[in-house]
Chains A and B, each alone.
Chain A
């Protein structure tokens, strides 16, 4: 799978749907993690998923506020971090 923002966004939406026990269509990529039902425990699950899938470790340094705006922004940040490695 090519590592582009769209693919990352889709994968994030799928994972968010899984951890929040929602239908994938209910997840809004233009909504924040909180708006999509992510709480502190599911947030940890999501961080571990991001590390596993793309090797980006937010557990060490946290997600910057600008990347928390919505799922798209988070995907863009993951792509940027992943390319920077």
Chain B
């Protein structure tokens, strides 16, 4: 984080200063993500019927990276019982996802996927499994990272223009109006497989 004042050179902030700024403005990622997701879901204008049987998958490149590294690093340095699995938690994403599920009274499953690679593929496969096993009728795929591999991959696969700040996509074979949704996980998996074959 840098502090930029008019006519001054940007100055890198120390940990303590960042802490003070965060406390001053109440900056925390969880609530920010929650409100950005809530805003995006409202913009999507889901019907009550669509919400009733909706699964939720939140994907992000952010979040766990630092914690995972620290946890793995601790495992190398200390005995396992002295390493905190809480560091491995994805709670910064799980919490807003859970709040959103509660607030919108969603009854389907919810899941957070965080990592570096193939997140869209993993989420489409999870959505496909949920739909095939009738866990839910539709799955909402959410991502609040700014421009990233996730958003470009979703656009590449579906050709859909996504919501500008929070990327979201309704996955399913049929919408509440029984019309086919443009993002059918079955078709997306076929596309992904085709891409993998072509890469080989």
Verify A51–B31 contact, CB threshold 8 A.
no
Asked if B26 contacts A51 (CB within 8 A), the reply is no
Q: Is B95 an interface residue (CB 8 A)?
A: yes
- Chain A hits for B103, CB < 8 A: 48, 51, 59
Indicate whether A41 sits within 8 Å of B30 (C-beta atoms), given known contacts A48-B103, A51-B103, A59-B103.
Answer: yes
CA distance A44 to B26 in the complex (A): 13
Measured CB to CB, the closest approach of chain B to A60, in angstroms, equals: 9
Q: How many residues belonging to B are interface residues under a CB distance threshold of 8 Å?
A: 10
Distance in angstroms from B63 CB to nearest chain A CB is: 15
- Complex alpha-carbon distance, A55 and B147, angstroms: 37
Tell me if A44 and B38 are in contact (CB < 8 A).
no
- Of the A-B pairs whose beta carbons lie under 8 Å apart in the complex, a sample of 8, sorted by A's number, is A40-B30, A41-B30, A41-B95, A44-B34, A44-B95, A48-B103, A51-B103, A59-B38
Tell me the interface secondary structure of chain A in the complex: helix
B interface majority secondary structure:
helix
- In the complex, A39 has a CB within 8 A of chain B: yes
Chain B contacts for A43, CB-based, 8 A? 31
Give chain A nearest CB distance to B56 CB in angstroms: 16
Is A40's CB under 8 angstroms from B99's CB?
no
CA distance A59 to B31 in the complex (A): 11
Task: Identify the A interface with B (CB < 8 A).
Answer: 39-41, 43-45, 48, 51-52, 59
- Chain B min CB distance to A16 (Å): 17
CB of B167, distance to nearest CB on chain A (Å): 22
**Is B102 touching A40 in the complex (CB atoms < 8 A)?**
no
- What are the residues of chain A within 8 A of B28 when measuring CB–CB? 39-41
Beyond A39-B28, A40-B30, A45-B99, 16 extra complex contacts between A and B, CB < 8 Å? A40-B26, A40-B28, A40-B31, A41-B30, A41-B31, A41-B95, A44-B30, A44-B34, A44-B95, A44-B99, A48-B99, A48-B102, A48-B103, A51-B103, A52-B102, A59-B38
CA distance A45 to B38 in the complex (A): 15
